[in-house]
Every structure is written in C-alpha cells, then in structure tokens.
Amino acid sequence: MIIKLIDQIEDNQKRTVIDKINSIGYKVSEVKTQVSSYLIAIGKKEFDIRKIGFLPGIADIHRVSDEYKLVSRKWKVNPTRIDLGDNVFIGGGSLAIMAGPCSIETESQIERTIDHLKQNGVRIMRGGVFKPRSSPYAFRGLGIDGLKMWHQQARAAGIKIISEVMQVSQIAEMYDFVDVFQVGARNTQNFNLLDELGKVDKPVMIKRGISGTIEELLSSAEYIFSGGNEKLILCERGIRTYEKASRNTMDVNAIPILKEKSHLPVVADPSHGIGIREYVEPVALAAVMAGADGIIYETHQKPEEAYSDSQQTLDFIESTQLINKLKRCFELRESF
Ligand code: PEP
Ligand code: MN
C-alpha cells in the first residue's frame, strides 16, 4: 500500500497515521523523495483503506500488492516524463533516440559523432568512459578525463550525455558532466550503488540484469526511487538464454510488460540486445512497435576500428537509415 502524504503534514499527524496502520498489522516504511513523501505499508491482511483515508495529512492512498511499489503503475496512472532540459525529454509520448559509441575513445571520434547526431536531429549521445569488460585486458575506458573532454564538446553542441557509472565513488566525479547516469547490466543489483543514486537529483537509466527478471529490474528501480530519486528510466538490453546464435536474446516481450507494470519510461537497447550489427535495425524497429519510449544504440565512424563492441556497432550511414526508420515506425505506432 502506498500512502502519499501532503507536503505540509505535521509530525503528530504522521505519527497518528503510522500508529493506525501498525494497529492493523502492517509494517510501515517512510520514503521521502526529492518530490514527495510517502508511507509504504506492507502486510497481508485485507482491510478497507477508507479506514485510514480520512486521517489528516493523507493526500492519496493506493493498494499496490506488487513487490515493488513506487515504480508501479497501480498508483500513478500517468506515464512519467523525464525532462533533461533544453526541450529534451524521455517518455511521455515522444521517442527518445540516444546514439553513440560503446566507448568514448578520442576527441575526433567525439566530434564526428556529434556532427552525425546533429545532422539527424538526435539530442542525446551515449558513450562509456568507465567500461565493464569481461576481460581485464580489454579497453576499460578513458575515465573521468574522457568524460570532461566529451562534455565540453557536447555542451557546445547542445547534446545531452548518458554514460555508465560503475561504482559509488564515480557518482560525484561524474555528476557535473552527465545528464543521465546509466546503471549497466552487471550492476543492476549493486544495491549500494542504487542507494547512492537515490540521493542524486539527476536522471538514472537502469538496465536489466544479464540474467535478471522483469520483476528484479523493477525492484532495483524501486531502490533508487525509495532512496529519493524519482527520475528513472528502465532499459531492456537483452538477457542471457541458451540461444547461441546471438550475443543476448532481446526480450521484446519485456517492453509492453514493463509499460503495463510501471509508469516509468522504457528504453530498448538493440545493440546489446542482439549483438550483431546486421540485426540491430529490425530489433530496434520491433522495440518501437512494442511500445518503447526510446532506443539507445551504438554507432561509430569506423565500426571495425571501435575499441569495444565493434561487431554490433552501426556506421553513420546505417545509423542515419535507422533513425529515419525509427521515426517512421513511431509515427505509425502513434497513428494506431
Ligand atoms: C553499454 O551500454 O555499453 C554496456 C556495457 O551495456 P550493458 O550494461 O547493457 O552490457
Ligand atoms: Mn557496448
């Protein structure tokens, strides 16, 4: 159960509400986000919510039986829209396109990518500077200096930045230079990291774990929300299955399911989802038709020379084609 409190609630009013809920046999957790205050009541017994609904200090009360609560659509019917400023939004009826290399590599690579994005009206650039790599000998990113170099160019061009944060100490370092923090698939259940991101007043896109369920993704998002940060985006990026023909199995099913279960925007990552350049486009288009609020994918001026994920990276011609088709698919979907 979610009890949304009024902003001006007095301490004694809150105490009365908590005592009343406890007396029914429910446990109460207090959640204060950057936007609102809530009480999350957990219990099994059925009871009439009107029994507490009249108490002073309560703005709203909703029955939510799911494991996750605040990210559930059961209490917030309207979809959440994330505002990145300068008229750039994720969710709430538009299609957000985020593109860029797997890894930030060089100044000229950044320049050429930004030119490509600008030519196609794409406002958000992706790129990793802290890279989670399966092998310790692989390229692990330019680190914070790379992010600063990227930020300088992106700001000048009016391009927003999404980049992966791998550990708690990087949050403060990165803060001034990113518009969206990305939590990677290997960190979906790094609860210390999620707790800390709850304290940040910048959007976070959380990816589904490599072998994570939809419910686990939502529960991880709940960590960040209940930690205080309501600016959240969910990302389906494919899961590990027994199938060997592709790097991962893009779970297109997850998109309508997440949209139904949660009010948060849902982004799809077809690059990691299938992991094979030739098939990124059809999977991306399928994700749009399935209801995605955004697509994030990898592109590079010379994919064969990319420091990481070259095999799934589009060149700029393929990327331009994809952007045009994404827009057409989105229009078609919206016309249904
Ligand atoms: C990435 O976006 O480059 C990345 C490492 O993604 P994931 O965490 O989904 O593997
Ligand atoms: Mn990658």
Going from N- to C-terminal start, the domains of the chain cover 2-62, 82-335
Residue 49's pLDDT is what? Answer: 85
Please give the distance, rounded to the nearest whole angstrom, from the Cα atom of residue 12 to the centre of ligand 2: 51
| Atom nearest to 128 CA in ligand 1 | 3
Please give the distance, rounded to the nearest whole angstrom, from the Cα atom of residue 300 to the centre of ligand 1: 16
Q: Does domain 82-335 have CATH number 2.40.30.10?
A: no
d(CA 235, CA 29): 27
Burial of 309 (0-12, 13-18, 19+ CB in 10 A): buried
* CA-nearest residue, atom 9 of ligand 1: 185
Which numbered ligand comes closest to the C-alpha of 134? 1
Question: What mean pLDDT value characterizes the chain?
Answer: 97
Please give the distance, rounded to the nearest whole angstrom, from the Cα atom of residue 109 to the centre of ligand 2: 16
| Atom nearest to 186 CA in ligand 1 | 8
Residues touching ligand 1 (Cβ under 6 Å) are: 102, 128, 132, 184-186, 207, 237, 272
Average pLDDT for 153-157: 98
Please give the distance, rounded to the nearest whole angstrom, from the Cα atom of residue 190 to the centre of ligand 2: 19
Residue 44's pLDDT is what? Answer: 87
The whole-model pTM stands at: 0.97
d(CA 64, CA 217): 17
Return the CATH fold of 2-62. Alpha-Beta Plaits (3.30.70)
Is it true that 2-62 and 82-335 share their CATH fold?
no
d(CA 6, CA 271): 43
- Enumerate the H helices of 209-274 as residue ranges: 214-226, 254-261, 270-274
Which numbered ligand comes closest to the C-alpha of 128? 1
Check pLDDT > 90 for residue 244: yes
Residue 266's pLDDT is what? Answer: 99
* CA-nearest residue, atom 1 of ligand 1: 102
Cα separation values, 238 from 32, 235, 333, Å = 33, 9, 22
